[in-house]
Amino acid sequence: MILVTGGAGFIGSNFVLDWLAHRDEPVLNLDKLTYAGNRRNLASLDGDARHVFVRGDIGDAALVARLLAEHRPRAVINFAAESHVDRSIHGAEDFVQTNVVGTFRLLEAVRAHWLARPEAERAAFRFLHVSTDEVYGSLAPDAPAFTERHPYEPNSPYSASKAASDHLVRAWHHTHGLPVLTTNCSNNYGPFHFPEKLIPLMIVNALAGKPLPVYGDGLQVRDWLYVGDHCSAIRRVLEAGRVGETYNVGGWNEQTNIAIVKTICALLDQLRPRADGQSYATQITHVKDRPGHDRRYAIDARKIESDLGWRPAETFDSGIRKTVRWFLDHPEWVAEVQSGAYRDWVQAQYQGAA
């Protein structure tokens, strides 16, 4: 069995579904079910004995210790995190509590579990920590992409909290010998993406006839990774990654935000044309840029390719088409996650587009 934390969130739920689609090894899924955690993401696993779901917090040391003792997982994959930059700007405490304090408590519980195991189980055990390229800071337009040796220069409360968690994981390996692996991924997109992030927000707003809010000039550059590719990368790192190493996971797809939005509009024009015949691009609205907005991220993913033989299967064109199609085919999922609290958040955050 493996333990997945944060397995009802966007990337975590995709990973759980991907894992059980490829193998029969059971998953113990621990998720706090905050606003971005959604049990409906895992509805297809209802009644599947390979999936054990527990609602709980990685910061609950007693709960984590009990689950580890009862289920004796051979690996822990830590997705649990607060991850929205804008929310961290408006209130950083939840990010510090989950991403820093929570990771610390999880590491301590896992270390105790690992030390109590027989020698053969200790040797085979892995703690895989899933992190972000945002810990590296911002790149100049012509600068080389982030490698695993790039210095940490986080610029938002979110990325600072994730950087702290990465440092804790590294320290628990070097100080205590815990067999860890770390992955730093670029921007994910795909099914079950909570509609506060750029791509799902644009799809949902476009279909609802609402403004498509783009920060500043929209020329911020990100590398985009289809979530299914991210899942396959994590499986590969868990299988063959070298203990103590970090692996950057990217999609080799640098795009500006405005290009992303226009691509989504063009796809929707094809797949779900507006009744008035106009393009969804007419709904694009530029709003005031957010504080400390990093200008460019780019991942150099050559290490995971050369060491582990992994490359993304999706191009951006294929991945974004799959994503738009998924949102078109699952309006009931979108309706359920758009609670009053969510609507209030979007209205406050993007008030320039109201």
Catalytic sites, residue numbers: 133-134, 158
> What is the DSSP secondary-structure string of 49-95?
TTEEEEE--TT-HHHHHHHHHHH--SEEEE------HHHHHH--HHH
- For residue 18, give both structure tokens: 């991907």
Measuring CA to CA, which residue among 283, 265, 272, 269 is closest to residue 212? 283
Local structure of 246: helix, strand or coil:
strand
Report the distance separating Cα 245 and Cα 61, nearest Å. Answer: 26
Measuring CA to CA, which residue among 11, 58, 59, 19 is closest to residue 37? 11
- CB proximity list for 270: less than 8 A, separation 6 or greater: none
DSSP structural state of residue 99: I
Phi, psi of 170, rounded to the nearest 5 degrees = -60, -45
Phi, psi of 180, rounded to the nearest 5 degrees = -110, 160
Helices (H), 118-224: 119-124, 157-176, 198-207
